[in-house]
A and B are shown apart, each in its own frame.
Chain A
Amino acid sequence: MSRSHISPIERHRRLDVDFRTPGGFGRLTSVNHSIVGLRFIYTGLFFFLVGGLLAMLIRAQLATAESAFLGHAAYNQIFTMHGTVMMFLFAIPVLEGLALYLLPKMLGGRDLAFPALSAFGYWCYFFGGMILLAALLLGLAPDSGWFMYTPLSGSTYTPGINSDVWLIGVTFVEVSALAAGVEITVTVLRIRTAGMSLDRMPLFAWYILVTAMMIVVGFPPLILGSILLELERAFDWPFFEVARGGDSLLWQHLFWLFGHPEVYIIFLPAAGIVSTLIPVFARHPMIGYGWIVASIVATGFISFGLWVHHMFTVGIPHLALVFFSAASMLVAIPTGIQFFAWIATLMAGRPYVRLPMLYLFGFLVVFVMGGLTGVMLALVPFNWQVHDTHFVVAHMHYVLVGGMVFPLLAGLTYWLPVASGRMPSERLGVVAFWLIFIGFNLTFFMMHLTGLKGMPRRVYTYDSGLGWETLNLLSSVGGFIMSIGVALVLLDLFLHFRIGQRAPRNPWGAGTLEWTLPKPPPSYNFGSLPRVESREPLHDTPDLPRALAAGEGLLAIPRPDGRETLAVEVVSGRPAHIVKLPAPNWMPFLGAVFTGVFFLSFLLKLYPLAAVGALLALGVFLRWAWSHGRRQDPEPLRAGEGIKLLPQAAVPAAPGWWGLLFTLVADGTVLAALLFGYLFLWTVAPNWPPPAFIELQPLIPLLGALALLVGLLAARGALAANRRAAAGMRGIWLLVLLLAGLLAAGALLAIPLGAPPPQTHAYFAVTAVLAGYGAFHCLLGVVMAGFVLLRCRAGFVSALRQLDLRVLQLWWDYTSGAGLLILAAIMLLPWVLAP
């Protein structure tokens, strides 16, 4: 290892060899965050066009009364897919892509915490999107609305494959969102450059951090709902069917428990774009940084207390509606604070107006209107009137287009020079902006009135003479004006990459780290990592780009096969250890292909093949996990500035441990949603109590509980033995863990097997899912224990290198806790609540 100075060219050559993605088929192996992020953005924009095309078909159909353009069958697929595509395949993935692309560049890292995970996520998104797109082209697309209310989406009223396509395709895509959620959370918390404490982080990273946490907690309820509905459709387990103890309202709760936070999951990153651009174009640091951080966190929480405002008309007691009405209004306050902080910053600075600012102006007008109608809708009695009318269609588009598309266009124009090295065109861009702005308002402002005049949503045709014709025609005209604007944006983008003017290094005069990079950025981002002293390091040190390329930062001397970046302490940003990033590899692609085999076989009801797909995917993941770590205890490595840091293999709280922690948060939310469903059915569903309660010998649950406790102790025992370097004891504990896990899984599975079949009543079905959830975790824990045992044999684990055991322990802490909770719910609830 050379301590001597190396030239910038030499540094570039050595780093690029390590980080570069190979060509040809090797592109499929890419894990580089710039490439994966751009793939998310391109694919998302493609789906935006698909969704936009569907919107045009909708507007063409509704332009006139009693239109003969589309029939009800086509229309219902089209409007369902418009919502599904825009929400799941455009909005979330594009913002994820933007975050994945930008975060390391803004935080001063060479890549994300788990580059291979986000690559895997991309392929899940890609394949899931293709399933939905294929269904659309084959005319088999879902047609029960993007909200998929049961019983309409159930097998009685939608016997075809349409609903299954939605449930399976969307769940596949959500795997990708969850992957990104965990990825981003750990990246923002740990993978930053030296000195970037939480209070110096770009606001964009705060927004994305809260968004990612919201994904981790917000998506699981819908994933659970989708699994339950698919179980009902495929195997006749009655979770939502009233006659057998289910309740269609359970679906609505699970859907909106996801669906409302989803709106903020889309809005917050966009607001993050606004908070990034405003100080740049105001030429003044952001005012009220702390207030904004608090507002973001508050928004993240409160947005989980709004979901019932989508259900104000289902007949819930007024007091409960008032809780949600109050929370729905409450969420306007942090949003308002951000608006006032933006205006204050503009007032304090010397603003100048370029194309991105124009889009921000569009955002301001449109989103404020969406927010105001949102407050109106939060008002219970007014909601009773306009719910499920075109008024809500108008509101929702004002919020989503205003709160996401306009900021996104601002952000794309702003950051284009980072990716392309060219400046966006002002002329074409301005025309496109005004077309979109005018077209949008013409389309959707009218819909407020159409809705108030009594036009419900989701109708494929309407009678003339009800006063809706003119408004609808104007909406359609506006829609086509808006799409011309979008087409101009595309033309602009195309021309941009061909003939755009070369951009200077820091064209807008920004202060954040992504503008220190050469354009387009190299595969490794930073030649050396900066030490950051403030929120706007580039303003402190305008010379930073040269200094970093010249190796005046940290990790300036690339070690062979190094691919290193820094991990920092969460709050202070002090360098904590060195993270070794993965090389391009086939795991993400193959893992997603086999996961796809699982989902697609399930969709086609080829269940044995689905099992094969799942096992192959598991095999790929285990093989991937095996490739990590090292067989010797590492020495601390020189990081520059006289600092020596350990590599992650020797660190207890390595990113992998954090990743599992947040995965378990998502997992725990699934369980919480399941327990909520259990309690909900018990107290609200009409056909309860069930014909019989499960009566068990106390032996089986006691045995299960005992096995879970032993598992908990054994995982901890193995870790403790390892710390004492007692390899023999460690092996014994791991064997105990294996057996205890198998026993616990068996005991849990024995409960539904000894009960009447799940098809007979929702009670038995929910019990079976609860027990299955516990048993699944135990079995996965057994596989992990066996895996770690082999890793110990192979010499990957030592008193210093204990990550494998720490991960195993965390898993079993969760599994034991969850298993005991499940046993308690199954055994005690009948005892408490049964009459």
Chain B
Amino acid sequence: MSALDPAGPAADALAGVWWVMLGGSFLILGAVVALALYAIYGRGARRSGITPRLLIVGGGLVFTPAVLAALLIWGIGAGHALLPLPGEREVYRIEVRAHQWWWEVTYPDAEDGPLHAANEIHIPAGRPVDITVRAEDVIHSFWVPRLGGKIDALPGHTNVIRLEAPAAGVYRGQCAEFCGAQHSRMALLIEAHETEALEERLALLSPTRESDSAEAPGAAAFQEHCAVCHSLDPRTRGATPAPNLADLPHRATLGAGTLPNAEGALLRWLRDHQDLKPGNRMPRHDHLDPETLEAIANHLEGPR
């Protein structure tokens, strides 16, 4: 999650400038403190030839503006280079809608129409990705530090950020703008794949699964208790969007990073989600007996 362990051109540039600025800052701080101490304690300070004019003009009017001008001009160039402007390279597109407190992910260019998923974004490695970000309720901010800067998700506006992962791997992100009760538990994962692996992973966003036969004991319960908000079909967003569950068994975490999706985690989540992530928008399941919950969990997990 560290911006100091950058991956990709955007984050590389930002980490690079950080180290330069850090070094410069320590030099300036050291110089100012040394100058002040010398002014207070130095014996020869009054004979040293450091005149007030030299300090005010040399320090205040020449040195500071020169450093700032260099930084400003460099910053303008660096900022401009990170903009999602049309270029020569082909760009992969992703749409993200931020909700209290999860991320709705859409692959708009998937074959046969857009695919919907949640809290995980799968992208090709070594290719620029434009992520279009908006918010469905309050303001959130989309941020994957190892890949680059952040962009706010606002209601009514769309913003685009360009990121690029140089190699296959998992990059953690988290909501950066305070968005209410569970701002802390609003993580997301970006996973970069080589081309074929990406296709395989996206194929898991499939509307049909082996356990989906009507006889599956959990299917009816899911229809009754969950389907009002949740969909198992990645082709539909649902009327009141809640995380799409099509590829749930293959996700790394549950509850937008609240707990690892390990053996038994889903059942625990269904039972205790209001204790694990208090205030989240899913109602408590206290009215469901343990057998029903287990059946739903089995239904959702399918054959692992």
- What is the interface of chain A, defined by CB distance below 8 A to chain B? 71-73, 76, 144-145, 149, 151-152, 157, 242, 247-249, 287-288, 291, 313-315, 318, 321-322, 325-326, 329-330, 332-333, 336-337, 339-341, 343-348, 351, 353, 357, 361, 364-365, 368-369, 372-373, 375-376, 379-389, 452-463, 466-467, 685-687
- Residue B174 lies at the interface, judged by CB distance under 8 Å to chain A: yes
User: How many whole Å from B284's CB to the nearest CB in chain A?
Assistant: 16
A351's nearest neighbour on chain B, judged by CB, is B40
Segment touching A, from B90-98, B106-114, B118-126, B140-148? B140-148
Contact between B71 and A329, CB atoms less than 8 A apart = yes
Residue of B at shortest CB range from A379? B75
Q: In the assembly, what is the distance between CA of A336 and CA of B67, in Å?
A: 12
Checking A288, A330, A686 against B56 with a beta-carbon cut-off of 8 angstroms, the contacting residue is A288
**Beta-carbon contact of B138 and A314 below 8 Å:** no
Q: Does the CB pair B178–A347 fall under 8 Å?
A: no
Residue B180, interface by CB 8 Å: yes
- Chain B residue with minimal CB distance to A341? B56
Query: Looking at B29, B56, B82, which has the most chain A CB atoms within 10 Å of its CB?
Result: B56
16 contacts between A and B (CB under 8 A): A151-B139, A248-B154, A287-B56, A314-B157, A315-B154, A329-B71, A333-B64, A340-B56, A343-B32, A348-B46, A382-B18, A384-B14, A385-B11, A385-B148, A459-B184, A461-B185
| Those of B148-177 within 8 Å (CB) of chain A | 148-152, 154-159, 172, 174-177
B55 touches A346 (CB 8 A): no
B1 within 8 A of A: yes
- Is the pair A687, B156 in contact by a Cβ cutoff of 8 Å? yes
Q: How far is the CB of B259 from chain A (nearest CB, A)?
A: 9
Q: A368 to B50, alpha carbons, bound, how many Å?
A: 21
B52 and A361 contacting across the interface, CB-CB below 8 Å: no
B179 at the interface (CB under 8 A from A): yes
A456 x B55 contact (CB < 8 A): no
Contacts of B79 in A (CB 8 A): 318, 321-322, 380-381
Query: Which of A330, A364, A383, A466 contacts B1, CB < 8 Å?
Result: A466
CB of B35 within 8 Å of the partner chain: yes
Q: Are A344 and B52 in contact (CB under 8 A)?
A: yes
**How far is the CB of A235 from the nearest CB of chain B, in Å?**
21
Are B182 and A72 in contact, CB atoms less than 8 angstroms apart?
Answer: yes
Q: Do A344 and B55 touch across chains, with their CB atoms under 8 A apart?
A: yes
Name the CB-closest residue of A to B151. A313
For A467, what are the chain B residues with a Cβ–Cβ distance below 8 Å? 1-2
In the complex, which residues of chain A have a beta carbon less than 8 angstroms from the beta carbon of B48?
Answer: 347
Q: Is the CB of B175 within 8 A of A456?
A: yes
- Look across to chain B and name the residue whose beta carbon is closest to the beta carbon of A360: B36
Assess whether B137 is in contact with A365, with CB atoms less than 8 Å apart: no
**How distant is the Cα of A315 from the Cα of B151 in the complex, in angstroms?**
7
Which of A151, A313, A459: most chain B CB closer than 10 A?
A: A313
Contact B29–A313 (Cβ < 8 Å): no
Taking the nearest CB of chain B, how far is it from the CB of A331, in angstroms?
A: 10
Additional A-B contact list (19), CB under 8 Å, known A291-B56, A340-B55, A341-B56: A151-B139, A152-B138, A152-B139, A242-B156, A314-B152, A314-B157, A315-B159, A332-B68, A336-B60, A340-B60, A347-B55, A361-B36, A365-B29, A368-B32, A385-B149, A387-B176, A388-B141, A452-B4, A456-B143
* Shortest Cβ gap from A131 to chain B (Å): 23
Residue contact B184 to A72, C-beta cutoff 8 Å: yes
In the complex, per-residue mask of B22-63: 1 if CB is within 8 Å of any chain A CB, else 0 = 000100110011011011101001101011100110011101
Provide the bound-state CA to CA distance between A373 and B28, in Å. Answer: 12
Does B17 belong to the interface (CB within 8 Å)? yes
Q: How far is the CA of A466 from the CA of B46 in the complex (A)?
A: 52
Give every chain A residue within 8 A of B302 (Cβ-Cβ): none
Q: Which residues of B contact A (CB under 8 A)?
A: 1-4, 11, 13-14, 17-18, 21, 25, 28-29, 32-33, 35-36, 38-40, 42, 45-46, 48, 50-52, 55-56, 59-61, 63-65, 68, 71-72, 75-76, 78-80, 82-83, 100, 137-139, 141, 143, 145-146, 148-152, 154-159, 172, 174-185, 187, 257, 278-279
Given the contacts A288-B52, A333-B64, A452 and B149 also touching, CB distance less than 8 Å? no
Distance in Å: Cβ of A301 to nearest Cβ of chain B: 17
A249 touches B180 (CB 8 A): no
Chain B residues positioned under 8 Å from A375 (CB to CB): 21, 68, 71
Which B residues are CB-close (under 8 A) to A333? 60-61, 64-65, 68
Q: How far is the CA of A724 from the CA of B171 in the complex (A)?
A: 82
Given contacts A72-B278, A347-B45, contact A454 B181 (CB under 8 A): no
Task: Give Cα distance in the complex from A353 to B35, angstroms.
Answer: 16
Minimum C-beta distance from A637 to chain B (A): 45
CA–CA, A304 and B158, complex, Å: 28
Residues of chain B with a CB closer than 8 A to A455's CB: 1
Is B157 within 8 A of A463, CB to CB?
no
Instruction: Write out the residue numbers on chain A whose beta carbons fall within 8 Å of the beta carbon of B51.
Output: 344
Residue of B nearest to A157 (CB): B138
Contacts of B64 in A (CB 8 A): 332-333, 336
Which residues from B are CB-within-8-Å of A249?
Answer: 154, 157
A72-B279, A321-B79, A341-B56 given as contacts; is B17 within 8 A of A381 (CB)?
yes
Question: Measured between alpha carbons, how far is A446 from B159 in the docked complex, in Å?
Answer: 32
Compute how far the CA of A314 lies from the CA of B159 in the bound complex, rounded to whole angstroms.
8
Known contacts: A329-B72, A337-B61, A351-B39. The answer to whether A381 contacts B52 by CB under 8 A is no
Q: How far is the CA of A369 from the CA of B257 in the complex (A)?
A: 35
- Hey, which chain A residues are within 8 Å of B83, CB to CB? 318
Note all chain B residues with C-beta closer than 8 A to A453. Answer: 1-4
Q: Which residues from A are CB-within-8-Å of B63?
A: 336
Interface centre among B63, B82, B100, B138 (most CB of A within 10 A): B138
CB-CB under 8 A for A157 and B137, given A72-B182, A372-B25: yes
- Tell whether, in the assembled complex, residue B72 and residue A325 are in contact, meaning their CB atoms are under 8 Å apart: yes
Report the Cα distance A459→B154, complex, angstroms.
19
Q: Which chain B residue lies CB-closest to A251? A: B139
**Cβ–Cβ contact B176 & A456, under 8 A:** yes
Cβ 8 A contact of B18, one of A336, A357, A452, A687: A452
In the complex, the answer to whether B35 meets A343 with C-beta atoms within 8 Å is yes
Bound complex: CA A791 to CA B227 (Å): 75
Partner of A452, one of B2, B71, B150: B2
Identify A322's interface contact among B76, B138, B156, B157, CB under 8 A.
B76
The 8 closest A-B pairs by CB, nearest first: A384-B149, A242-B156, A454-B1, A337-B60, A315-B159, A346-B39, A344-B52, A459-B184
- B187 proximity list for chain A (CB < 8 A): 463
Residues on B with beta carbons closer than 8 Å to the beta carbon of A388: 141, 143, 150, 176-178
Query: Chain B residues with Cβ under 8 A from A288's Cβ?
Result: 52, 56
How far is B158's CA from A248's CA once the two chains are assembled, in angstroms?
Answer: 13
A460 to B157, CA, bound (A): 28
* Chain A residues closer than 8 Å to B28, beta-carbon distance: 368, 372
Residues of A within 8 A of B2 (CB): 452-454, 467
B152 close to A315 (CB less than 8 A)? yes
How far in angstroms is the closest Cβ of chain A from B137? Answer: 7
Q: Which residues of chain B come closer than 8 Å to A145, judged between CB atoms?
A: 178
- Chain B residues lying within 8 Å of A332, measured Cβ to Cβ, are 64, 68
Chain A hits for B52, CB < 8 A: 287-288, 341, 344-345, 347-348
Cβ-defined contact, B25 with A369, below 8 A: yes
Q: Are B178 and A344 in contact (CB under 8 A)?
A: no
- Contacts known (A361-B36, A381-B79, A453-B4); A248 close to B155, Cβ less than 8 A: yes
Q: Tell me whether A385 and B80 are in contact (CB under 8 A).
A: no
**Which residues on the B side are within 8 Å of A365 (C-beta)?**
29, 33
Q: Is the CB of A463 within 8 A of B149?
A: no
In the complex formed, the residue of B with least CB distance to A79 is: B178
Q: Which residues of B contact A242 (CB under 8 A)?
A: 155-156
Q: Which residues of B contact A389 (CB under 8 A)?
A: 176
Residues of A within 8 Å of B17, CB to CB, are: 379, 381-382
The docked-state distance in angstroms from the alpha carbon of A454 to that of B171 is 12
Q: B184 to A461, Cβ gap below 8 A?
A: yes
Across-interface contacts of A315 in B (CB, < 8 A): 151-152, 154, 157-159
Alpha-carbon distance between A453 and B146 when the two chains are bound, in angstroms: 9
How far is it, in angstroms, between the C-alpha of A384 and the C-alpha of B178 when the chains are bound?
16
For A339, A343, A369, the residue with the greatest tally of chain B CB atoms inside 10 Å of its CB is A343
